[in-house]
Structure 1
Amino acid sequence: MGGVIRSWHLARRSDKSLDDLARMFNNIVQGWINYYGRFYKSRLLYFLRRLNRHLMRWACRKSKRLKRRERRAMAWLAEIARRSPRLFAHWRLGARPDGWAMGAG
């Protein structure tokens, strides 16, 4: 899963919107959640948090206001996750960038 996430090169896709990224990758992430979430949830959660870090790096490159401000970019993503928690498949599961884990929120 890590290799697949790296191969997406999310940070380089600053021409895409957050909705575009969700459309591009939700099917794959939902498949991982369905498959690995059944028996290996702890490892799955690690990769979903890693995906949030990649989204944070994307936000840093997308916006001048967030450049080199990773904590602020993660807070920005957390605010979006609060407003639309169903945007990304892993946010629906509960792996949101605001630091809450499964079942919270």
Structure 2
Amino acid sequence: MRTQTGELFVGFNPAISKDALKKISGQVRSWRLHRRTRLSVADLAKRINPVVRGWMNYYGAFRRSALYPLLLRINAYLMRWLRKKFKQLRGRKKADRAWERAVATRPKFFAHWAWVNLVPAVW
């Protein structure tokens, strides 16, 4: 089979489509995690884990690395939540240490931490 440019099509690498990724990203934004400071971290995990776990199982079955930017974005929202919930963690170093402690003590607390548990670089 040849492509429109005449190159030979030699493989197929299934991954999440751009449209699906855009839809999922919109859903994550609609959660407004960083604004739910009245919830506990357990409540947040209870709300998002089933949904994120489903996305990981469905879209990550073939190429999980395509989901990493989305999962990192969820981490960024969680970091914003952490910094708004606990005022003493507004500074970057303190927030980073708190994040690392949380991941070290409960590495599977959030479903996506099994794949991506990095301290988010985005503030």
Q: What is the alpha-carbon root mean square deviation over aligned residues?
A: 1.6
How far is 1:98 from its partner? 4.3
For 1:40, the equivalent position in structure 2 comes to 63
Q: Hey, what does 1:31 align to over in structure 2?
A: 54
**Structure 1 gap ranges (5+):** 100-105
Q: Quick one: distance in 2 between partners of 1:26 and 1:53?
A: 16
Structure 1 residues 56, 13: CA separation in 2 closer, same or farther (over 3 Å shift)? same
Give 1:49's match in structure 2, choosing from 72, 85, 88.
Answer: 72
State the structure with more CA Rg: 2
In the TM superposition, what are the counterparts of 1:1-105 in structure 2 within 5 Å? Answer: 1-67=24-90, 69-91=91-113, 93-98=114-119
Q: Deviations over 1:11-35 (max 9, x none)?
A: 1100011111000110000001001
Contact 2:75 2:119 (C-alpha < 8 Å) held by counterparts: no
My pick for the range that moved more, 38-47 or 5-14, is 38-47
Deviation at 1:71, TM superposition (A): 4.6
- Report percent identity of matched pairs: 39
Per the alignment, in what secondary structure is the counterpart of residue 95 of structure 1? coil
Give, in whole Å, the separation in 1 of the partners of 2:97 and 2:33.
18
The runs of 4+ residues in structure 1 deviating greater than 4 Å are none
5+ unaligned residues in a row in structure 2: which ranges?
A: 1-23
Indicate if the aligned counterparts of 1:29 and 1:89 stay in contact, CA closer than 8 A: yes
Shift of 1:54: 0.5
Structure-2 separation of matches of 1:49 and 1:22: 15
